[in-house]
Amino acid sequence: MTTATPTVGAGVQPPAPLTRAARVRKRLNSRTATVVSIVLALLWTVPTFGLFVSSFRPEDQIKTTGWWTFFSDPQFTLKNYQDVLFSSGSSGQLASYFINSLAITIPSVLFPIAFASLAAYALAWINFRGRDWLYIGIFALQIVPLQMALVPLLRFFSTGVSVGGIQLLPAWDLVDEQKFAQVWFAHTCFALPFAVYLLHNFISQLPGDLMEAARVDGATHPKIFRTIVLPLITPALAAIGIFQFLWVWNDLLVALIFAGGGDETAPLTVRLAELAGTRGNEWQRLTAGAFVSIVVPLIVFLSLQRYFVRGLLAGSVKG
């Protein structure tokens, strides 16, 4: 609590100390620090920038000269993107995989957030026996690396559940695009402990008077949840939503195991990893392809960075 409170609550601080702090900091500003930090920031961006520039260069150029020659000999084309997105078969067809990524990501973000906020509310504001133990139990599940769950969960999907020869639950037997459901399920399970933990942090800090007043007015828990809690925790929902979005969109392992590798279900990451392995020298495809996969999280990230950082700080420092 000691470190993060002033930061997270920066918006509610009275303005006077802020300006004083700013004054102190301004005095400390130094030209060297500015130059060094900007140079480092640019260096940090060079690899991404090189990929970006290359993705617009013609194939023979990419393969024979470095991307920095672009500035002395600029040649620009969109053919790489056209090829990698739409040409069929082994050369890319990333448009298909892009749709898969979307189809995987949207439900995989919605389900855990909804379930986790319900659970977090119950753990914070409904009195029942064993509440604290349950919360600690869910919290502790964060330590289980998802590698621990992969083999049995895959068997759960493919053969169902049977105890002593009696089939309790049937196999899911999903084909093609139906396999999305497996991926949604897996992502939802794996996201829940962290999501419950983060949302519980926010929900438990809502003012108790508010809940009490609503209860006195005869509001039931679902009503309080819908009309009071949900609107108040929107920033937290946004933060966890961005987290989960980036996590699912960028995930390789879960998709590799539960989605399969075909163009019916596999997301961009799986396809790109495959291209990097089998066509490691086809830089015209890899550069454009990598950028296709990067662009969506980049937009989300840049436009919602504030929420993301707030969630990051709340999740990792505050506790």
Partner 1 sequence: MEFDFAAEQPKFLMLMYGLIAFVAVVGGLLLLLDVVPTWFARRREAQLVAASASGAPVPRRRKQREGVFAFFFLLPTLLLLTIGLVVPAIRTTLLSFMDARSTNWVGLDNYGWMFAEDSIFRVLINTLIWVLLVPLVASGFGLIYAVLVDRARFESVAKSLIFLPMAISFVGAAIIWKFVYAYRGDEQDQIGLLNQIVVSLGGEPKQWLLESPLNTFLLIVIMVWIQAGFAMVVLSAAIKAIPADIIEAARLDGTTPWQMFWRITMPSIRPALIVVVVTISIATLKVFDIVRTATNGNYDTNVIATEMYNQAFRYGENGQGSALAVFLFVLVLPLVIYQIRNLRKQREG
265 Cβ partners below 8 Å, 6+ apart? 100, 104, 176, 177, 179, 180, 183, 259
DSSP 3-state of 58: coil
89, with CB counted inside 10 A (0-12, 13-18, 19+), is exposed
Q: How many residues does the chain have?
A: 319
Burial class (CB in 10 A: 0-12, 13-18, 19+), 289: buried
Nearer to partner 1 by Cβ, of 152 and 207: the residue is 152
Number of other residues whose CB lies within 10 A of the CB of residue 25: 9
Gap between the Cα atoms of 116 and 188, Å rounded? 10
Nearer to partner 1, 155 or 210 (CB): 155
275: nearest Cα among 13, 76, 32, 85? 85
Q: Is 21 or 210 the residue whose CB approaches partner 1 more closely? A: 21
Tokens standing for residue 184: 């949604």
Q: Strand, helix or coil at 161?
A: strand
DSSP state of 92: -
Residue with tokens 């060297």: 32
User: Could you tell me the smallest distance in angstroms from the CB atom of residue 214 to partner 1?
Assistant: 14
Nearer to partner 1, 210 or 298 (CB): 298
Q: Whole-number minimum distance, CB 27 to partner 1, in Å?
A: 8
Nearest approach in angstroms of CB 169 to partner 1 is: 9
Pick between residue 107 and residue 235 the one whose CB is nearest to partner 1. Answer: 107
In the complex, the smallest distance separating the C-beta of residue 62 from partner 1, rounded to whole angstroms, is 7
Least distance from partner 1 to the Cβ atom of residue 171, Å: 14
Least spacing, CB of residue 15 vs partner 1, in Å? 13
**CB of residue 231 to partner 1, shortest distance in Å:** 15
Write the CB contacts of 11 (distance below 8 Å, at least 6 apart in sequence). none
Give least dist CB 242 to partner 1, A.
Answer: 9
Angle at 119 between CA 11 and CA 252, to 5 degrees: 85
* CA pair distance 79, 96, nearest whole angstrom: 18
